[in-house]
Amino acid sequence: MTAPAGASADPVTAATAALMARNEADFARGDLDAIVANYAADAVLVRPGKVYRGRDEIRTLFAEIFSHFAGLTPQSNTITVAGRLALLTWTATSAGGRVVQGIDSFVVEDGQIVAQSYVGAL
């Protein structure tokens, strides 16, 4: 995990980094309930051409991801955290193909993800 110099003394950055690590582990396990619990009730997730609002819609998105990409195995390349912002770059493989580059950005407040944007290329 990459953070700016002196970030270890910043409790907001540390809390965001801890949430990102937990969310990454939840995703790698395919634990839909744990993933959704990381989001605020009114969170917004944006990807090209689509906006998901609230936990129910976000749950639907992740359920679709797990059903479409059976055996999904993500590999995190970088997680960069500054305060309540995080940027994740990653790749993944599955029975349905390979994501050659995925990029997610997150905004975290009070220990939950309140906003996320995502783009990935197969």
**What end-to-end distance do the CA atoms of the chain give, in Å?**
24
User: Has residue 83 been placed in a domain?
Assistant: yes
User: Has residue 58 been placed in a domain?
Assistant: yes
User: Has residue 1 been placed in a domain?
Assistant: no
- Domain of 45 in residue numbering reads as 7-121
Output phi, psi for 89, to 5 deg. -115, 145
Q: What CATH number does the domain containing 117 carry? A: 3.10.450.50
* CA–CA separation, 10 and 110 (whole Å): 15
pLDDT of residue 92: 76
User: How many structural domains compose the chain?
Assistant: 1
- DSSP-derived letter for residue 107 is E
User: Has residue 50 been placed in a domain?
Assistant: yes
User: Has residue 2 been placed in a domain?
Assistant: no
Assigned token pair, 89: 């770059």
The pTM for the full model equals: 0.85
pLDDT digits (tens, 9 = 90+) for 28-72: 888 999 999 999 999 999 999 999 999 999 999 999 888 877 666
pLDDT digits (tens, 9 = 90+) for 5-23: 444 569 999 999 999 999 9
User: Has residue 72 been placed in a domain?
Assistant: yes
| HSE (side-chain half, CA atoms, 13 Å) at 122 | 7
Assigned token pair, 68: 């479409």
User: Has residue 68 been placed in a domain?
Assistant: yes
User: Has residue 14 been placed in a domain?
Assistant: yes
Q: Which residues contact 118 (CB under 8 A, 6 or more apart)?
A: 45, 46, 47, 102, 103, 104
